[in-house]
Chains A and B, each alone.
Chain A
Amino acid sequence: MIYSLLILLSWFFLIIGIIGLFRIKGIYERLLSSSKIDSVTVITLIFALIIRSGYSFMTVKLLIILIFYMLTNPIANQIVASSAFKHGVKPKSRM
């Protein structure tokens, strides 16, 4: 039951992320939306797989992958954004 619900949530977030990449203009806004939506997709999908695989050897490896992903994905997106900003790309929308 919880497994099916989490899988359905991950489909929803995956499709919303792909749509948001095409609808939003400007590189910083695209970075914001794509990184947030993708983090939620990975977290829900890997939690669903953990619930499905039960209490076994595979669960520990899935947890290691999830922790590594949650540590490195914000760093990668921040490095891309800071590289674009230091090179002189202006944001499209002003606050």
Chain B
Amino acid sequence: MMLEITMYIIIISILVLIVYLIKSKSIWEKIMVMNLLSIKTILFITVFTVWTNIPEMLDITLTYSIIGFIAITLISRFLLSGGRLK
């Protein structure tokens, strides 16, 4: 019962964050919101895994968190050098 309400709240917060991502002006705020979106997705998959009681689905969560971290660091380094690959 409480896990379903948690999943609904996470879905609503993901929708609000997508609205904020479209509205925001500077590009660093967009990267920050992408970080928050990846964390919300990780939380949703974790809660769904515990709700359905299948422990193999937690590997997807680990892979998703590693990919989100590497993407955010590489994109911010790329923007710091002015959009050039150096």
Contact = CB atoms under 8 A, between A and B. Distances in A.
A36 interface: no
Contact of A42 (B32, B39, B55): B39
A46 B42 CA distance: 11
Contact of B65 (A27, A34, A69): A69
B78 to A, nearest CB: 9
Q: Please tell me the size bucket of the interface on B.
A: 35 or more
A27 B24 CA distance: 11
Given A27-B26, A69-B65, A38 B79 contact: no
A65 B61 contact: yes
B80 to A, nearest CB: 4
Interface string B21-39: 0000010110110011001
Nearest to A87: B80
Given A38-B36, A45-B47, A89-B26, 5 more contacts: A15-B9, A42-B43, A68-B62, A83-B28, A89-B28
